[in-house]
Structure 1
């Protein structure tokens, strides 16, 4: 069976029956209420998207709801982009409005742990440290709550009919999106939800270290959460069918088919682009069936690869058309007509005429959108070829202008475009605005637990400050102050991800700058965080020195909350070193400071710490006393994660006391508290 499908996007579909059957079997499981995840693995141009498109057409009679998300190549890294793209209310209808998580969907950003999974991050600012720096589970609890909201949104859609959620180009997904995908795959196994994710394996070895997708892919395989369909290159017969379908002819010489098949090595997108290129060059006349007039087929020069094909097609364009494509490539994979027109300062009718020609040539596609007239490049290679052809100076000027236009256009909703503005002003070398929007983007990403993306934008903020130097509006001291605060943020992210050596290095950079500034508060904050990171590495004696130094300054400045944190860190060091009396003395001082600060949450978590020390020394009576005191404080702030921990520890004490029934009672209370987390 051979099928050729042609439309304005020139999608080609030939002989994928076995892959379709696998997808249909997976969908049948989904219809029966057994959620599945399927990966489509195949190189660029092999037809993964066309395969899914054909599969989704077959689902029509079943009434499946199709959701589509995209990952963009080297554009502004917006955390959770494929989920935002698929689940925006304007695309999924009113059913979504009441179940979307605030801050992720609709509002759109308004405003991996190596070890120690109980370390929090991102819950206190850089100046006023709060009690959560050593609390267990806060970040995981909040991130899981947000992830569960997205999962619920998708599951709710599946109540009426099965949901098929397709994510294309997963190799370009941010790490936060990959973590969310893993979470959803794990939690929709009893729902009518089918996840289909296409990716290019050749892209997974192109970055330093392990690609994030490889890690998630391995974990999901180990948990038996996914299956993989490999979409391979095509045989000669299928390539022949594609060529015949495109040229609407059957009497094509075997020598030509053999030449195309040999050069393409069975890649269908390559074949389509070669035929387009040969038609545009006049080598082939698609309206003629006379092949004898064609030049010697064996000597026919074909492009050497996908990028070569695209380069040849773009090279034939006139200057005006190239200029339009150059500006579009600088805007991004997707571009709005009004931004493009204003960037080019071009007559509307004239620009539309050229865009129509580019659509006819299958270089760009008009996207359906309620937000305005939006276009995208037909294939990522087209944009890549055009953008890579820009000189550095031209790219800089374009990004500067585009950033300014988007900033003006979106002045009343800057929170929606911080990632875009950060990219354009950074690439445009407008360093002060690059700093401003990179910082905003980092804060937004951190608030959504997208820690890798937050780190990227904070480092970009540091670079902008360094480029500014004395030109920064705050002067040289302002640069050092902002850099110190950024290094504290970066250290916080590293700490929360279990990368303690990285945390120490970032905090040391902050410490060095704070000393140059003569800022005692910053110096104490950096020293405290260095000590906390060292304590997590087991370097207790070294950690004590840093924490003692910080405590001295906090005490001088009468900062009760910070004093509590430093003493708590010292208590932890002494406890782990087996110096239990010293540990209790520091915890007692920490409790006094927390009481002065009126922080019930910190008190509750520290009472658990004190209970642990008593439990360690076999003083079960005092251990139980402090665990119960912890529950009393934590119930005031409804921290069910910590309450569950306290009940679990009470159960553990009763196990040690061989009071089995009481132990079961409290362990059950721990489970019930944990169920309240969501």
Structure 2
């Protein structure tokens, strides 16, 4: 009999907060609310109120629930939530979701357009994909994501939930999360979010005695059935009562309310259960419009709810009651076929049993699976399981485990963990441990690293060291892989030492463990330790060394060598020898992944000779990946080939194709990397606004995904975009953020020095540019070179030639390097050669070389004009070339680009050549309206611009070709017109205008 209140009692504050949160979502402001309370306190009712409210507002609702049985089944609540979305309307047809669809295929297998990319499916990528999907779902009116029982949630889901909670600002999604106040990752997350003010925690307490009275009146007024009172006073089930819905507790006698308050401890679910039991047994009747006890307070109703649940089960046929007890032993959620086998039921009898359980409000269908069922609450399952004798429970558990292994080949999904739990309940710890180990290895292969670690730890607790040493060693080895994937170097080394020292494993297997540990150390930056581990592994392997083992060792050692300074030929040759041997062996065995890793190292090493040689290795890598269907390695090879082409020729077509391929495969990380390379190229092409927009977008994404190196590179793009426009103040701001993120200690540092040199040149600060290039040279003397466009192999040579510190010898040395032939560098190398030829008096050769320079610089509008300005100066002074034409072109470009300093320098050189220069003082120079209103003239505005760059009066006079005294007059006039009392205030004003 259904006994429940039609309204929520005693939760007015909570419903108000939820209503307000939904309103904020409708305005585009997302958020998270955690409902924390013991079972039965009303979380489910608040969930229903919130979802009903959301549906009324035409919002999309997604629902998912964690279960105790699924606490180590990765992503279960999210999968269930997404299935609920599919059932309602399907996935939004949003083109921006295409790159994330394959990643989301880990949650919904039907969404997979191809095989999962096991090397690019990090939890962060999946979390970002989920965020993008929710944003798309909620785009037209908002969305509500309801996740229940998160105290039983798997670790992977918690990681994604934390990511979502932290990044809902501006996303029209409300996350409503329910959990019990027990120690759990969910509770820790809720508390952390409350402290950081990114989520709200609503703790549900017990109802007051008065609220219990209201609840009882509401339940009895709508749900009571025939009571065993006097015939004329008994109300028919569902008939309208005389009491109001809330506050009218006169319809319930005071002894009934006191009994409920004393027995239920303020728990509304228990109140409903007690009322249901009292009505079913005739202890509670309605007489003269008032509910009261028949024959005094019922003594048979227990103080504990479990007995009330058991009483309800006793109302069923004895066979059904026994079958439900067996189902409870299997778990709160159980497969129907397993129960059928354990209880020897026919299909028809199983359906009758399930329906009887549903009618008794003990069971319900399990979401997401038509042949699984679940008890309505944990209390019900616990009460029924506890009603059996221990020996009976063990027998049922063993039978259910047997049935699972018969029905489910290889125990897929959560059935493996369910079987492990049943073996444990049956008293067979070692068998349970073996199953937990199997589930752990499977979780690891699926990328669920945290769940794998938890399962493998459980397995090791159950596998005895004496009798199951080999099984323990295997589980420990898998655990080592999980720790390595998670990046826990310390723990991996500690557990790995235990495995490597085990005499149970063969020497080959121990060497494999040491090799894996060596790779962990490489990834963790512990290169010395990695070298020691590789050496120890080699000592364990007697001749002949297994080919596959040798290949992996060679790959790790070659990687190690590339992390050091490869300027020494012997070291470089050794690295190449190892990588080449590893590639040949891995391709022969075959070990395709190791072969790709080896070819990747060889391509890096080959760059020292030529980028064409590097391409040969990358094509080998591409061939291996294609033959063995390694999608992610194929994509990496294509991306590196496209990057080499971009650097060599300036053609960004191939890398744009690689970006589209990455997103099509769902390889978000690789896609972001290629997009960042494209954005940097946009800077070189002079498309600064597009580059900055892409950098901002990628910076937000990589910051959310905690990809610090990629985020630093996004800041490098922003630095380049402002530096290549000569915006010194903006450059200082971005450099500050770059430093705060540790950029100056990263491999990005020399590239930043190179862009700062460009900015200095645009500001006519030649000594500053030379100082930045000196920093590049100093950096590269002590660090391996991994970026070739820092200026070291192009711009630096030109500046040294202009300063007459470099001649033919230095030119020959630099021009012989492969990096000097990359197109961005080549334009400066050719310009340096132009100056050397002109200086040597070979004017015809200099002009021919200048034409080659212009052709090389064709894709780079700013760099081409910068070269013209730099080369024109010695050409004018030494009397060769066509400096006037070069300066006119440069001046026109830089003037229209608002690069005041270098445009002024071009005009000064033209005047020096005796050429009449156009006055740039009328409509061509627009004074901002805010300044024009105060009467600021064009010339005063030019002075103010240079004051904003913190220029001294003599510098301003030189750049504007006026006297220092005239500058002083303009400064005084500006201070008077703009009401400023100090020069610094003028600079601050200019900074505000250009911000």
Scaled by the length of structure 1, what TM-score is found? 0.74
Cα distance in 1 for partners of 2:391, 2:557 equals 50
Q: CA offset at residue 55 of structure 1?
A: 2.2
Call closer, same or farther: CA 1:10–1:17 in 2, change over 3 Å.
closer
Q: How is 1:265-276 mapped onto 2 (pairs within 5 angstroms)? A: 265-276=265-276
| Contact 2:312/2:360 (<8 A) preserved | no
Q: Which moved more, 1:175-184 or 1:152-161?
A: 152-161
Deviations 1:203-245 (A, max 9, x none): 12xxxxxx32244334434553312233332222321122123
Cα distance in 1 for partners of 2:113, 2:469 equals 28
Cα distance in 2 for partners of 1:390, 1:661 equals 81
Q: Does 1:547 align with 2:534?
A: yes
3-state SS of the aligned residue for 2:251? coil
Cα distance in 1 for partners of 2:531, 2:213 equals 73
Q: CA offset at residue 177 of structure 1?
A: 0.6
| Contact 2:473/2:504 (<8 A) preserved | no
Q: Which residue pairs with 1:398 in the alignment?
A: 396
Call closer, same or farther: CA 1:147–1:271 in 2, change over 3 Å.
same
Call closer, same or farther: CA 1:235–1:181 in 2, change over 3 Å.
same
Call closer, same or farther: CA 1:426–1:418 in 2, change over 3 Å.
same
* RMSD of equivalent CA atoms: 4.7
3-state SS of the aligned residue for 1:167? strand
Q: CA offset at residue 656 of structure 1?
A: 5.4
Q: Which residue pairs with 2:783 in the alignment?
A: none
Cα distance in 1 for partners of 2:335, 2:257 equals 40
Q: Which residue pairs with 1:85 in the alignment?
A: 80
Q: Which residue pairs with 2:481 in the alignment?
A: 492
Long gaps (5+) in structure 1: 1-5, 112-121, 125-137, 205-210, 470-478, 612-620, 671-678
Q: Which moved more, 1:14-23 or 1:219-228?
A: 219-228
Q: Does 1:102 align with 2:105?
A: yes
Q: How is 1:524-673 mapped onto 2 (pairs within 5 angstroms)? A: 524-530=511-517, 545-553=532-540, 556=543, 557=545, 559-566=550-557, 568=559, 589-598=574-583, 599=595, 601=597, 636=638, 639=670, 651-655=748-752, 659-661=756-758
Q: CA offset at residue 527 of structure 1?
A: 2.9
Q: Which residue pairs with 2:987 in the alignment?
A: none
Q: Does 1:192 align with 2:172?
A: yes
Call closer, same or farther: CA 1:516–1:480 in 2, change over 3 Å.
same
Call closer, same or farther: CA 1:601–1:322 in 2, change over 3 Å.
same
Q: Which residue pairs with 1:130 in the alignment?
A: none
Q: How many residue pairs end up in the alignment?
A: 602
Deviations 1:525-584 (A, max 9, x none): 223445566788998877654332113446952613312314645887xx7xxxx79999
3-state SS of the aligned residue for 2:29? coil
| Contact 1:441/1:454 (<8 A) preserved | yes
Deviations 1:158-204 (A, max 9, x none): 24442211001111111111111122233443332221101111x12
Q: How is 1:103-252 mapped onto 2 (pairs within 5 angstroms)? A: 103-106=106-109, 142-201=122-181, 203-204=182-183, 211-221=184-194, 223-248=196-221, 250-252=250-252
Q: Which residue pairs with 1:453 in the alignment?
A: 451
Deviations 1:452-482 (A, max 9, x none): 311233345556765995xxxxxxxxx6555
Q: Which residue pairs with 1:521 in the alignment?
A: 508
Q: Which residue pairs with 1:38 in the alignment?
A: 33
* Aligned with residue 383 of structure 1, among 371, 377, 381: 381
Cα distance in 2 for partners of 1:23, 1:493 equals 40
| Contact 1:38/1:226 (<8 A) preserved | yes
3-state SS of the aligned residue for 2:501? helix
| Contact 1:528/1:547 (<8 A) preserved | yes
Cα distance in 1 for partners of 2:311, 2:437 equals 40
**Which structure carries more relative contact order (alpha carbon 8 Å, separation 6+)?**
1
Q: Which residue pairs with 2:802 in the alignment?
A: none
| Contact 2:277/2:301 (<8 A) preserved | no
Q: CA offset at residue 74 of structure 1?
A: 4.2
Q: CA offset at residue 83 of structure 1?
A: 0.7
Q: CA offset at residue 407 of structure 1?
A: 4.3
| Contact 2:558/2:579 (<8 A) preserved | no
Q: Does 1:331 align with 2:330?
A: yes
Q: CA offset at residue 103 of structure 1?
A: 3.3
Q: Which of 1 and 2 has greater Rg? A: 2
Q: Which residue pairs with 1:362 in the alignment?
A: 361
Cα distance in 2 for partners of 1:464, 1:108 equals 37
| Contact 1:77/1:174 (<8 A) preserved | yes
Cα distance in 2 for partners of 1:221, 1:625 equals 55
Cα distance in 2 for partners of 1:199, 1:184 equals 17
Call closer, same or farther: CA 1:199–1:630 in 2, change over 3 Å.
farther
Q: How is 1:271-310 mapped onto 2 (pairs within 5 angstroms)? A: 271-285=271-285, 294-297=294-297, 303-307=302-306, 309-310=308-309
* Aligned with residue 56 of structure 1, among 28, 34, 51: 51
3-state SS of the aligned residue for 2:170? coil
Q: CA offset at residue 345 of structure 1?
A: 1.3
3-state SS of the aligned residue for 1:59? helix
Q: CA offset at residue 589 of structure 1?
A: 3.2
Cα distance in 2 for partners of 1:260, 1:399 equals 37
* Aligned with residue 503 of structure 1, among 492, 505, 508: 492
Cα distance in 2 for partners of 1:191, 1:41 equals 24
Q: CA offset at residue 487 of structure 1?
A: 1.5
Q: Which residue pairs with 2:63 in the alignment?
A: 68
| Contact 1:164/1:194 (<8 A) preserved | yes
Scaled by the length of structure 2, what TM-score is found? 0.52
Cα distance in 1 for partners of 2:54, 2:314 equals 41
| Contact 2:63/2:81 (<8 A) preserved | yes
Q: CA offset at residue 35 of structure 1?
A: 2.0
Call closer, same or farther: CA 1:105–1:581 in 2, change over 3 Å.
closer
Q: Which residue pairs with 2:990 in the alignment?
A: none
Q: Does 1:262 align with 2:262?
A: yes
* Aligned with residue 14 of structure 1, among 9, 14, 26: 9
| Contact 1:465/1:483 (<8 A) preserved | yes
Cα distance in 2 for partners of 1:147, 1:290 equals 55
3-state SS of the aligned residue for 2:189? helix
Call closer, same or farther: CA 1:531–1:353 in 2, change over 3 Å.
closer
3-state SS of the aligned residue for 1:146? helix
| Contact 2:519/2:556 (<8 A) preserved | no
| Contact 2:29/2:170 (<8 A) preserved | yes
Call closer, same or farther: CA 1:488–1:373 in 2, change over 3 Å.
closer
| Contact 1:63/1:161 (<8 A) preserved | yes
Cα distance in 2 for partners of 1:153, 1:188 equals 12
